Every structure is written in structure tokens, then in C-alpha cells.
């Protein structure tokens, strides 16, 4: 199949061609692999391929799902495929799982054919994909610029039309942020909607949610139909809706009352370009008949990021300990300074500190519950500014040296109380100013690609909905997609 034809379809469109006998799964896979071989040297979107086993899968009868025969890329974190290595973005860890992650089982049951693993920052901790082990992923819209993180390789592969969608997961913005950076669609589902187990049954205390980054809204809706539902041992028994998410896209959307805020929920400076993108989205919404009111959630921004850091650093410390136990001290010592520093923070806090931080999460959830009683959704920028140049967000060489020298000392509480922790982490935390709240609360949120800057880089608009209200989020996204299409807006590669 020629790429000029392949790139005209989303996932559901390619699957329809397979069902009609116009193309085979093997031919689709070969087209995607050829596209990857041409573009990956300049994008560095993928770090591992398994084409032979993918071809063997494609030649056998595939499950009869909505995406039968469609090529797919898995994120190299959490989305484990039995027999293929998971590196977590590290240099020395190569884990060969004996079983699939449950979400991967559901991807396969939908008929997808995975053939590669995407690039990501180490442990998924950074908001940019610039790991030391594999090198930076380049934004398809402009080389030398960030794809966002942590699902940056997946977003770049989708934007470059290597695949129509790729797996992603989001613990602080890691679906929405790279989707915004790369000009594609990213939905973070409600906590518990999609599986995260069996190994990470409640990743980051429930902050992590998994769902693909897609070119089209309908692909995202159809995938949510395939992925959603409880898994064995889950603490969240969320039933599927009575109507499919895909069918809900065809229903008329009643005018919404949408609150809009450009006030960051973590200390940050929002650029004029991000404010202009937000204003354009507000104008579009009003043209579509929605009521948009400036209204800011009542959230203690300083407390929210601090509580998040207490909980997440504890998970990082546990992961570093696991690596040391399984792969040895050398592998643990080889981790990036930022990872080791985050683990130090986790070792510094007590279980009482974590319990208190989780109470802070509940306060944020209550504040958003009150907000969403008055408004159907919250609209914010996804990014505080256009995607950053490579090297801007990661630690400098001097900062990395400081982190490596101090990672064994229990300095977490001192750094937190003195304000130094925010100063050291500001380049990362400030860019999560609008996305982090969705992970703390578990609310569904999406980034919609509605604006490109004068520099030719994408900026997304974020919508946060009520708990389990993905159907209405997707309805609005489809309406925006029809009003201001982005599918045919492609980077020049």
C-alpha cells in the first residue's frame, strides 16, 4: 500500500479497508514499518522494533475487532507485551515480561498489530522525551524541539503518520501534553475506566491512566469502547455505559456551560501565544452555541504540587529499590540524576507525610467537584507555551551533578520546606500547570489540537470533564473536529 493512500485514513478507516478485502494486515504493517524506517532516524520516536513477530501475528487470523489489521506502537512503559523487552526509558534495565499487561490484551483483542516500542523519558518522570539512554525524540513539526512527555515517542509517531494511533499513559499530563506538542488528539480517561494492571494495578496511587493518542476523535472513542471495563483485582468497578462511546459521537450535543481559566494551578508564566490559543478556542465554542464563562477553580496551587511530589517520589523510590534488587546496584546507579533525586525525596518522607499528602489530593477533588456542579467542563490551555527546545527542560550539567552528589542524603523535607525543591523542579512542574490536576483528581481530560503558533508548532486546548463523563468530552471533541479539522494538517517530513 502506498503511503500517500495509507496516511489518508484513521484506524477505523484502515480496518474498514481490511474488512472489504482492499488491503491485508500484512500490507498495512509493511507500509507502517517502511514509514518508520524512513522517519525514525530523524524523529527517534521508537526505540525497539519486533517486525518479524508482528508479521507472524498479521499473517494469522486476527481477532474480529473494530481495528483488525491496523499497525500499532506500544509505549515502552507499563504497556508490556510478553517476550518483548520493556526498558522504562533506562539504559540498563531490560525486562522481558512473561505476560501481557491487561490493556495490551485488550489492544490485541481489538485486532491491532503492534510492531514497535516508543521512546519516553526515564520512568516517565519528565514532561519532555529526552532520555539519556536513547536520545531525544524530535517534534515532527520542528526538529530540535520537544515532543512533550512522557508519551512523546507515541505522539511523534502518530503526528508523523507512522501509525494512526499509539499507546500512551498519563500520570501528570503524559497523554495530553505530548498530544498538544505534536498536534494530535489525546484523551486521559477517568480513574479506573481503563485497566492499568496487573503489575501496576493503581499506578502512582491511581494518578496514572492509559489510553492511545490518536489522529481522530472517533478512533479514541472506539478504543475506549475496547479498553474500558474492570480488570481482575481492580479497586475501581466502573461499568461500561449503556451506549458505546463511538455511537455517542453521532448524538447531537446540547449547548454546554463551560468554565474557562488561564490561571495556572502551579506557579507558572502563561505565554501570550498560549493565551491567544485559549481565546481562539473560546471564540470557536461561542460560535458553536456554548456558554463560556471565566471562572477559576479554588485550588491551593502550591499545596497541590507539593502533595503530588510526596506521593510520586515514594513510588519512584520503590521502583529504584526494585531495580537494585532485580538488576543490581550498577543498574540502579546508572539511572539519571533526576530519577535518583526523586527517589531520594521518596525515601525522605514518612508514611504520615504520604497520608497527609493524599488528604490534599482529596481536597483538590472536592474543589473540582464543586466547580463542576456549576460548569459542565473546565477549559484551560494544555501547555503554558509552545513546545520547548531540546535541553531547556532537563537538568543542566551542574544541576545533574548536584542531584547525583546529593541523592543519598535524606534532604526531601528540607528541600520542600525551604522552597528549593520547587526551584530545582520548576522547569518541569511549571509546564504541568494545567494538566496535573486531572491526575490528582482522576477526572477525565483531553487535549484538542486547535492552534499552531507563529513558529509552526502546535498548542492544544485542554477540557476537563466530570467523573466518568468521557462521552460528553468526546462529543465536544468531535464537534470541534468538524468545525476546525486537523486531520489533514500534517508536518512536512
Predicted pLDDT at 232: 86
* pLDDT > 80? residue 261: yes
Q: If you average pLDDT over residues 415-426, what whole number do you get?
A: 77
On whether the pTM is more than 0.85, the answer is yes
Predicted pLDDT at 415: 75
The grid coordinates of residue 232 equal: 481482575
Predicted pLDDT at 418: 73
* pLDDT > 80? residue 478: yes
Nearest to 24 by CA among 74, 76, 61, 53: 61
Task: Read off the pLDDT band of 359 (50, 70, 90).
Answer: very high
pLDDT in tens, 191-236: 999 999 998 888 999 999 999 999 999 999 999 999 999 898 877 7
* pLDDT > 80? residue 423: no
* pLDDT > 70? residue 42: yes
Calculate what percentage of the chain has a pLDDT beyond 70: 99
CA dihedral (74, 128, 309, 173) in degrees, to 10, reads: -60
pLDDT in tens, 438-462: 999 999 999 999 999 999 999 999 9
For 238, which DSSP code? -
Q: If you average pLDDT over residues 22-48, what whole number do you get?
A: 98
* pLDDT > 90? residue 396: no
Q: If you average pLDDT over residues 363-376, what whole number do you get?
A: 98
pLDDT in tens, 295-324: 999 999 999 999 999 999 999 999 999 999
* pLDDT > 90? residue 369: yes
Q: If you average pLDDT over residues 54-69, what whole number do you get?
A: 98
Q: If you average pLDDT over residues 94-113, what whole number do you get?
A: 97
pLDDT in tens, 135-147: 999 999 999 999 9
Task: Read off the pLDDT band of 420 (50, 70, 90).
Answer: low
Phi, psi (deg, nearest 5) at residue 70: -85, 130
Lowest-confidence pick of 163-172, 194-203, 286-295? 194-203
Predicted pLDDT at 463: 99
For 431, which DSSP code? G
Predicted pLDDT at 422: 82
* pLDDT > 80? residue 327: yes
Sign for the CA dihedral angle at 51, 55, 61, 64 comes to positive
Question: Which residues, other chains included, contact 271 with Cβ-Cβ below 8 Å and sequence gap of 6+?
Answer: 384, 385, 386
Nearest to 104 by CA among 218, 231, 267, 19: 231
Q: Are 471 and 248 in contact (CB under 8 A)?
A: yes
Predicted pLDDT at 234: 79
Average pLDDT, rounded, for the chain: 95
Q: Are 45 and 39 in contact (CB under 8 A)?
A: yes
- CATH of region 3-255: 3.90.1300.10
Amino acid at each position: 500500500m502506498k503511503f500517500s493512500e495509507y496516511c489518508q485514513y484513521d484506524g477505523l478507516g484502515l480496518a474498514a479497508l481490511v474488512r472489504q478485502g482492499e488491503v491485508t494486515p500484512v500490507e498495512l504493517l509493511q507500509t507502517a514499518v517502511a514509514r518508520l524506517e524512513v522517519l525514525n532516524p530523524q524523529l527517534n520516536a521508537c526505540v525497539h522494533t519486533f517486525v518479524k513477530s508482528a508479521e507472524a501475528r498479521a499473517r494469522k487470523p486476527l481477532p474480529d475487532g473494530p481495528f483488525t489489521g491496523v499497525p500499532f506502537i506500544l509505549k515502552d512503559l507499563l504497556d508490556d507485551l510478553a517476550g518483548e523487552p520493556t526498558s522504562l526509558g533506562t539504559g540498563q534495565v531490560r525486562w522481558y515480561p512473561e505476560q501481557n499487561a491487561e490493556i495490551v490484551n485488550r489492544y490485541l483483542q481489538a485486532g491491532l498489530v503492534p510492531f514497535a516500542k516508543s521512546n519516553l523519558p526515564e520512568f516517565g518522570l519528565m514532561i519532555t522525551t529526552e532520555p539519556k539512554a536513547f536520545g531525544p525524540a524530535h517534534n515532527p513539526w520542528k526538529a530540535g524541539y520537544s515532543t512533550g512527555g512522557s508519551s512523546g515517542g507515541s505522539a511523534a509517531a502518530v503526528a508523523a503518520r507512522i501509525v494512526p494511533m499509539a499507546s500512551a499513559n498519563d500520570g501528570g499530563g503524559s497523554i495530553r501534553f505530548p498530544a498538544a506538542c505534536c498536534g494530535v488528539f489525546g484523551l486521559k480517561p477517568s480513574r479506573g475506566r481503563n485497566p492499568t494492571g496487573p503489575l501496576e494495578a493503581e499506578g502512582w496511587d491511581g494518578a496514572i491512566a492509559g489510553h492511545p493518542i490518536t489522529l481522530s476523535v472517533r478512533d479514541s472513542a472506539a478504543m475506549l469502547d475496547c479498553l474500558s471495563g474492570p480488570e481482575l483485582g481492580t479497586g475501581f468497578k466502573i461499568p461500561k455505559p449503556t451506549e458505546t462511546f463511538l455511537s455517542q459521537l453521532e448524538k447531537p450535543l446540547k449547548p454546554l456551560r463551560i468554565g474557562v481559566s488561564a490561571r495556572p494551578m502551579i506557579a507558572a508564566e502563561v505565554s501570550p501565544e498560549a493565551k491567544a490559543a485559549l481565546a481562539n478556542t473560546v471564540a470557536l465554542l461561542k460560535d458553536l452555541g456554548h456558554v463560556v464563562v471565566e471562572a477559576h477553580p479554588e485550588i491551593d496551587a502550591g499545596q497541590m504540587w507539593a502533595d503530588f511530589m510526596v506521593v510520586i517520589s515514594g513510588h519512584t523510590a520503590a521502583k529504584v529499590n526494585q531495580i537494585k534488587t532485580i538488576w543490581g546496584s550498577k543498574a540502579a546507579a546508572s539511572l539519571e540524576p533526576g530519577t535518583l533525586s526523586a527517589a531520594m525525596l521518596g525515601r525522605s518522607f514518612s508514611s504520615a507525610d504520604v497520608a497527609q499528602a493524599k488528604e490534599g489530593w482529596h481536597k483538590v477533588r472536592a474543589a473540582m467537584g464543586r466547580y463542576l456542579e456549576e460548569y459542565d467542563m473546565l477549559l484551560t490551555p494544555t501547555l503554558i507555551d509552545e513546545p520547548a527546545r531540546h535541553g531547556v527542560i532537563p537538568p543542566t550539567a551542574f544541576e545533574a551533578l548536584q542531584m547525583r552528589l546529593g541523592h543519598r542524603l535524606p534532604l526531601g523535607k528540607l528541600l520542600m520546606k525551604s522552597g528549593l525543591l520547587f526551584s530545582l523542579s520548576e522547569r518541569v512542574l511549571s509546564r504541568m500547570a494545567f494538566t496535573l490536576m486531572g491526575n490528582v483528581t482522576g477526572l477525565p481530560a483531553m487535549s484538542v489540537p486547535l492552534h499552531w503558533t507563529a513558529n509552526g508548532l502546535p498548542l492544544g486546548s485542554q477540557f476537563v470533564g466530570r467523573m466518568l463523563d468521557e462521552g460528553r468530552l468526546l462529543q465536544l471533541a468531535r464537534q470541534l473536529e468538524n468545525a476546525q479539522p486537523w486531520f489533514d494538517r500534517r508536518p512536512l517530513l
